[in-house]
Amino acid sequence: MSILAWLSLADTDVIFQNGGLSIVASYAGCGKTSFLANLCCSIMNDKRVLFFTNAHSTLHSVFRILAIKHNLNINLLFSDSGGEVDRLEKSLEKENIGEIIEKNVIIQDLPNPHIQYVYKTAHELHKEKPIDAILFDDIGLVRTLSDGSNYQLAETMSELKLIARELSVPLIATHQLSRTHITSAREPLLHDLSGSASVEQIADMVLFIVPQKETEYHHSGQIRVMKDRYGKRGYFYYDTAKKTNKISLSDFYVSGVDKKK
């Protein structure tokens, strides 16, 4: 199933609300950035997306989106081997994806941006031409005026939610999930998030990407809706193709309900 029907995750009522702040959390290296890239790829044809990425360059982000869109091996694409670049060029000749990205995807790749820069940039770009969604990777790397990691996170989240409300767009951001609970052999909970009190209080939706199985070609697990201010908690099964980073989702299962939603 496609990862996103505009605003709705996998065409269910798990909805990224206009004016809402959604947090996508997981362990380091478990697919948070790929999740955002898949969202971007799903909506960029007719929606304008502002993508803040702290971990990767603009070129890396564009290649990641193109690999998902055209089922290309992302590692071979970066190394310019295996004929992937030629395949990409042929695909671009058939579809005007390069122009779509240039027109509808605005990538900001400034490392460790200050939250006031994020606020100003989002408003200026929205004033030039309305933005339909904002993606942000990763809130833990944002600089603020506050001292102390918990205060910084609270300020960052408050400002991001303010941006979402003032521009009336969904803002989906990633955050780190601690691995400390693994030693106690239990499932991750909201309080395993860094600055969990701020996340629980301010975020409208919190999703956990929980890996469960890895094979030579795929990662799989669950995407759990841990909090949804406007909907129900539950989960999807996901499958990520290692070659392309493309994510597919199952139907949505409501927590405590046996049958599919």
Helical H segments across 95-148, by residue range = 97-104, 115-128
pLDDT bin (cut points 50, 70, 90) of residue 245 is confident
Share the mean pLDDT of the chain. 81
CATH number of 160's domain:
3.40.50.300
Phi, psi of 106 (to 5 degrees): -105, 115
- Specify if 236 maps to a domain: no
* Conformation bin of residue 233: beta by default, left when phi > 0, alpha when psi is -120 to 50: beta
Integer angstrom CA distances of residue 132 from 34, 61, 128:
20, 19, 13
Domain that holds residue 36: 4-8+16-208
77-81, 91-95, 177-181, 223-227: least confident range: 91-95
- Specify if 92 maps to a domain: yes
* CA distance between the termini of the chain: 14
What share of the chain has pLDDT > 90, as a percent?
Answer: 31
Domain count along the chain: 1
SS3 content of the chain, % helix, strand, coil (to 5): 40, 25, 35
- Specify if 177 maps to a domain: yes
- Specify if 223 maps to a domain: no
pLDDT bin (cut points 50, 70, 90) of residue 122 is very high
Residue 60 has pLDDT above 80, yes or no: no
* The predicted structure's pLDDT at residue 61: 78
Contacts of 129 (CB under 8 A, 6+ apart): 48
Task: Show the tokens assigned to 147.
Answer: 């001292």
* pLDDT tens-place string over residues 89-98: 555 545 555 5
Residue 259 has pLDDT above 60, yes or no: no
* The predicted structure's pLDDT at residue 27: 83
Angle 227-13-19 (CA atoms, 0-180°, nearest 5)? 65
* pLDDT tens-place string over residues 177-217: 876 655 556 778 888 787 778 888 899 999 999 988 989 88
- Specify if 215 maps to a domain: no
- Specify if 231 maps to a domain: no
- Specify if 245 maps to a domain: no
Q: CA 62 to CA 74: how far, in whole Å?
A: 11
* pLDDT tens-place string over residues 14-49: 889 999 999 999 888 888 988 998 888 888 878 899
pTM: 0.85
- Specify if 68 maps to a domain: yes
